[in-house]
Amino acid sequence: MLYQRSLDIERRLETVLRLIRSGGYSTPMIAEELGISIPTVSRDVTALRERGHDIRSERGDEGWRYLLIQDLKKNSPHLDIRVDGSETLTVLTKHPVQRKARFA
């Protein structure tokens, strides 16, 4: 499939974000959980940060772990648009969005 690689990367990024969101995961733990390399996890975390996720590292008694400080799904203004009734496109905005809109 033409876009299969991009789809696989997006799914992996979603999984990495889910693990970080759940708390307590380090780079080696994520790599082991997903069966990917440590450099790949580092690149994925960088990509998620570039997308606006406030991911930080914290050193605890058991070593380093990732923390998601601001979850874009919960804290950012966004507008969900239904496409053909089955798919949702989420548009992140810098300002609150009024929910009343008309589409021709």
Mean pLDDT across 21-31: 93
Distances, alpha carbon 20 to alpha carbons 10, 25, 36, 58, 71, in Å: 15, 6, 15, 12, 10
Predicted confidence band of residue 23 (pLDDT cuts 50, 70, 90): confident
For residue 66, tell me if it sits in a domain: yes
pTM flag (> 0.85): no
Closest to 35 (Cα-Cα) out of 16, 49, 22, 51:
16
**Can you give the residue range of the structural domain that contains 47?**
4-71
> What CATH number is given to the structural domain containing 43?
1.10.10.10
Q: Is residue 94 part of a domain?
A: no
What total of structural domains would you count in the chain? 1
Q: How many residues does the chain have?
A: 104
- Domain assignment of residue 91, yes or no: no
> Per residue in 61-88, pLDDT tens?
888 999 998 665 555 544 444 455 555 5
CA distance 97 to 79: 7
pLDDT in tens, 85-104: 555 555 555 555 444 444 44
Return the pLDDT at 72.
Answer: 56
